[in-house]
Amino acid sequence: MLTLKQITSNRDEVVRRLAKKHFTRAAELIDQVIALDADRRSTQKELDSKLAAVNQLSKSIGVLMQTGKKAEAESAKAETAQYKEDSKVLSVKLDELELAIRDLLLQIPNLPQDGVPEGTGAEDNVVEKQVGAIPTFEGFEALPHWELAKKYDLIDFELGVKISGAGFPVYKGKGARLQRALINFFLDEALNAGYLEIMPPTVVNAASGYGTGQLPDKDGQMYHDAQDDLYLIPTAEVPVTNIYRDVILTDKELPIKNCAYTQCFRREAGSYGKDVRGLNRLHEFSKIEIVRIDKPEHSAASHKEMLAHVENLLAKLELPYRILRLCGGDMSFTAALCFDFETYSAAQQRWLEVSSVSNFESYQANRLKCRYKTADGKTELCHTLNGSALALPRIVATLLENNQTADGIRIPKALIPYCGFDKID
């Protein structure tokens, strides 16, 4: 969430920038926040003075009792009664005001950076770059990955349905080995880029869900164990970023660069059609996530490095890709700047999103209370960033489809040492 300071000291600026996210209630909500905040401050001032009076009286009573002036002590006791009554009323009011402000703040999305394009949906995203040739197939018709998976016995979707349900595929043989190869490849690449590998729990408590903002907004999108009130993570972002919840770092520790491979679980309620065919949208999948905690003045540079990292992965996998700068309307609630990576899937003849690299600036850190001490001793909110590097299923889909030949599926050079085979046939 935004900080009170951001809102109260730059009211017009905040309203202007929120327009790009098509958040129509910006002016209304922000003016409410400002009014409530003014009330909050005057209420606290009044309350503090009442409490100070009681504290002072209490201290004097202690002294009077010790010196045996009982009558004076009793009269001082009587004097506290009115203050106590007043402060009770004021403290209830203060609590209500603080709750109301927080409730409003949670409804206000992050401010998009000025470089974010205008637009309302996916069609308005700006293609920054497109790299790699779209493959063509001579002499045979390209098969979609779900048919290739069957043909070479790599992935059994029906078996997954039997064991768990739709969206839980079973990988077999070279299909399973390809998964393992990709996980190791992505982790090694992150390691070489200076990321510290983390293996976090894949089940988190509610506090962590709130910390990164999955709760309360996306409650229905996570698998939830009601018995123990735990959630299956939708991404490693949740446990990894929550490492830094309620933490004050030193400026020397920044930027923090973490990477993690986890299984990710998503209920994907409301998905349908060609979007969910094959590997396109799963309830459980493997993903390597990169997370950074950084100083505000360096987060833009970090974001660029993360983009370069993801781009390098796609280049090494020899996949045609494009980079989209997301428009205000297509960005998530919490992002200030976001780029998507898509690979072209030749048989499906469409672009598939394989990574999303976002800078949340201080929006997520404010909720997490992730701060750092500056060189001159001030405590400031960090910036947080994350990106997929990469999610496996659509990479596998594209690899299978694009690299199919009349006599098997070719494995890209970079992956062969990890796979232990150079061809699926």
Partner RNA sequence: GGAGAGAUGGCAGAGUGGUCGAUUGCAGCGGUCUUGAAAACCGCCGUACUGAGAGGUACCGGGGGUUCGAAUCCCUCUCUCUCCGCCA
Binding footprint of RNA on the chain (CB under 7 A): 4, 37, 41, 44-45, 47-49, 51-52, 54-59, 61-62, 65, 77, 80, 84, 248, 371, 373, 379
In sequence order, what are the beta bridge partners of 322? 130, 342
CB of 296 to RNA, least distance (A): 15
Size of the chain, expressed as the number of residues it contains: 425
- Helix-then-strand count for the chain, H and E: 13, 19
Amino acid making up residue 298:
H
CB of 411 to RNA, least distance (A): 32
**CA nearest 117: which of 408, 297, 356, 338?**
338
CB of 376 to RNA, least distance (A): 11
Pick 43 or 388: Cβ nearer RNA: 43
Distance CA(145)–CA(424), nearest Å, equals 13
CB-CB neighbours of 191 under 10 Å: 12
CB of 216 to RNA, least distance (A): 18
- Residue the block writes with tokens 């209304």: 28
Pick 24 or 58: Cβ nearer RNA: 58
Output the six-digit token pair for 168: 């839980």
DSSP 283-332: SEEEEEEEEEEE-GGGHHHHHHHHHHHHHHHHHHTT--EEEEE--TTTS-
Pick 50 or 266: Cβ nearer RNA: 50
Residue 403 CA: distances (Å) to CA of 51, 143, 274, 334, 345: 73, 11, 21, 37, 10
Pick 49 or 405: Cβ nearer RNA: 49
Distance CA(377)–CA(55), nearest Å, equals 32
Distance CA(411)–CA(315), nearest Å, equals 14
Pick 25 or 84: Cβ nearer RNA: 84
CB of 137 to RNA, least distance (A): 46
CB of 372 to RNA, least distance (A): 10
In sequence order, what are the beta bridge partners of 387? 290, 357
CB of 80 to RNA, least distance (A): 4
Number of C-alpha atoms within 13 angstroms, CB side, residue 96?
8
Contact 365, 384 (CB under 8 A): yes
How far does CA 204 lie from the centroid of its chain?
14
CB of 77 to RNA, least distance (A): 4
| 145-150-156-161 Cα dihedral, nearest 10 degrees | 80
Pick 367 or 394: Cβ nearer RNA: 367
Pick 225 or 425: Cβ nearer RNA: 225
CB of 250 to RNA, least distance (A): 8
Pick 4 or 187: Cβ nearer RNA: 4
Pick 51 or 170: Cβ nearer RNA: 51
Pick 376 or 407: Cβ nearer RNA: 376
**CA nearest 404: which of 131, 117, 186, 143?**
143
CB of 45 to RNA, least distance (A): 5
